[in-house]
Amino acid sequence: MEIPKWADYMLPELMILSDGKEHKRKDIFEDASKKMKLTEETKSITINSGDFQWINRAGWALTYLKQSGLVDSPRRGYFIISNDGKELLKTNPKRLIEKDLEKYPKYKDFCKRSIKKSNSSETADNSTFSLTPEDLIDEATNKIRSQVCDELLEKLRSMDPTSFEKIVITLIKALGYGDNTSNSGIHTGKTGDGGIDGVINQDKLGLDTIYIQAKRYKEDNKVSVHDVRDFVGALQGKESKGARKGVFITTSCFTKDGRDYVEGIKDGKVILIDGEQLAELMYDNGVGVSVDRIIKTNKIDEDFFE
């Protein structure tokens, strides 16, 4: 049989979820493989990373269904069909391809995020035939990056506040701040912490410090200007000994008033990092992620032949 492409898995997976119940990720893949009548030979094929090809493609199909809003993930590792997914199945589609997803706003937003992370001037509407092999690699890499960043944010939003605060401190240290000692990043978050969740000592004596506040908020719960003012006030309080440097990090975003307020601060420096930027910083600095594969290509060495 012809080896199924990733898009071939979308309709079987959506049909499996049509009962409206939550299904485990791995069960969706197994049931889809049975529905598609995959042979053992097909299921034994691996890709360069060593992963099974059919699981990799089934995973991308489920990812795209989720990014389109056709399925939801109510909890980690579980998926359920959405109202849009139910409506789509009512049309009795024979097959789903990536182009079918383009009418869904969530999928368009996903594609825009992928393109925004690319330096390429190509647009989403350009045919793949107009792209060089290097462009295609970059395009695929940016889609992977966008998806991993989305997953990072989901995980961060589902964590307990203390664990989230500790991860934020780890990230700030990974960015190069601190004096590289065990005492350079201190978690202080607790009831009555005065708005300070962590301290980064830039030197061994703590003469130069950065104070951190971390808000684990849902996507639609914006950090208000009042929250920002309280943090700035805490920087001048006894908890921070009159600090001048602060970083406010959230898994959601900041209101315009909050950002404007920070821009107007003249005595000290406060940096605001929203959820999207937080995920990108974690991705770029290897916090909460690991290298999946390294792609190596060769080119002609013109100097060798001269």
Q: Which tokens go with 167? A: 């991860």
Task: Quote the pLDDT of residue 125.
Answer: 47
The number of beta carbons lying within 10 Å of the beta carbon of residue 286 is 11
Which CATH number applies to 6-157?
A: 1.10.10
- How far is the C-alpha of 143 from the C-alpha of 168, rounded, in Å? 25
Q: From CA 231, how far away is CA 211, in angstroms rounded?
A: 10
Tokens of 26: 């791995």
Q: Which tokens sit at 49? A: 């990373």
pLDDT score of 77: 86
Asked if 214 contacts 198 with a C-beta cutoff of 8 angstroms, the reply is yes
Tell me which CATH code domain 161-273 carries: 3.40.1350.10
Going from N- to C-terminal start, the domains of the chain cover: 6-157, 161-273
The alpha carbon of 75 is separated from its chain's Cα centroid by a whole number of angstroms, namely 16
Q: Which of 48, 10, 45 is nearest to 29 (CA)?
A: 10
Whether the model pTM is above 0.75: no
Nearest Cα residue to 15 out of 126, 92, 77? 92
- pLDDT score, position 242: 60
Kindly list the averaged pLDDT for each block of 10 residues, start to end, along the chain of length 306.
Answer: 88 97 96 95 86 91 94 91 96 93 90 65 45 74 90 93 94 89 78 75 82 93 94 76 84 95 86 96 96 82 76
